[in-house]
Amino acid sequence: MRLLLRVLAPLLALLLAVVGLGIVVETVTLWVAPGSSPLVVPWPSWQAAVEGLTWQSGSVRAVAVIVGVGGLFVLLTGLVARRHDVYLADPVPEVTVTTSPRSLARAVGHEVRSHDDVISASVVASAKKITVKAATLDPAEDVRASLRERVDQTLLRLPLAQRPRVAVSVTTTKGVK
C-alpha cells in the first residue's frame, strides 16, 4: 500500500501544479490582453455552460459524487498505508518506544540462523504475529521444538509491550551434512 501512496502523491501534486500553472498563465494572458481569446482553456464556453446549471442538475451531482468518492479513496489509502510499528514497553509514561517489524524480524532471524541445525531461515514479523520458516538437514520436529524455544527466549529478552503469536515451521531438506 505504501507503493500506491508513493505513486499517488506525486501524481496528485503534479496534477495540482499543472492546474495551478494553467490558471496563472490564463490569468496573466487575460491581464495583458483582455480582448484576446483564452490560450488553453475555453473559459467563455465553460462559463456559458456553467451558468445554466443548478445544484439540482444531474451533472453537478455526478461531479460531486465523483469528487467525494475520490476524496474518500485518498483518505482511506492514507489511513491504511500508515506505518505499522511494534510497540515496546515504555521506560517512563512520557516516552513511547517503537520499532519496525523489519527490525523485530531481523532480531528473531539472527537468533534462528545462529542455531547449528538450521541451514536457511526466513522470518516475517508484525506487531501481532511472527512467522519463522526454517530448513534443516535433521528431523524437522526436533529442530522445530528447539527453534520455538529459542524464539520464545528472544521475545522474552525484548521489552515488547504485547507478545506476538509465534508460528514456526521447519522443513527437512536433502543434502550432505
- The mean per-residue pLDDT over the stretch 11-38 comes to 87
Quick check: 21 pLDDT over 60?
A: yes
- Give the pLDDT score at 41: 80
pLDDT score of 175: 64
For residue 165, the SS3 value is: strand
Does residue 1 carry a pLDDT above 60?
A: no
Residues of the chain with CATH 3.30.300.20: 97-172
pLDDT at 15 over 70: yes
Predicted local distance difference test score (pLDDT) of residue 39: 81
User: For 111-150, how does the pLDDT look when each residue is reduced to its tens digit (9 = 90+)?
Assistant: 999 988 899 999 999 989 999 999 998 888 888 999 999 9
**132 SS3 class:** strand
Residue 104 confidence (pLDDT): 93
What SS3 state is found at 115?
coil
State the pLDDT at residue 8: 82
Q: Is the pLDDT of residue 167 over 90?
A: yes
Segment 66-77 shows an average pLDDT of 91
Grid coordinates standing for 21?
500553472
120, 124, 129, 132 alpha-carbon torsion, rounded to 10°: -10
C-beta of residue 149 within 8 angstroms of C-beta of residue 174:
no
User: Is the separation of the CB atoms in 127 and 101 below 8 Å?
Assistant: yes
97-172: CATH topology is GMP Synthetase; Chain A, domain 3 (3.30.300)
Average pLDDT over residues 90-99: 87
- Rounded Cα distance, 33 and 110, in Å: 70
* % of the chain with per-residue pLDDT over 90: 44
Give per-residue burial for 85-115: e unless 16+ CB within 10 Å, then b. ebebeeeeeeeeeebebeebbebbbebbeee
Residues making up the chain, counted from first to last: 177
pTM: 0.59
132 close to 123: Cβ distance less than 8 angstroms: yes
Please give the helix or strand (H or E) that residue 122 lies within, else none.
strand 118-125
User: Is residue 132 within 8 Å of 99, Cβ to Cβ?
Assistant: no
> Other CB atoms closer than 10 Å to residue 58's CB: what's the count?
8
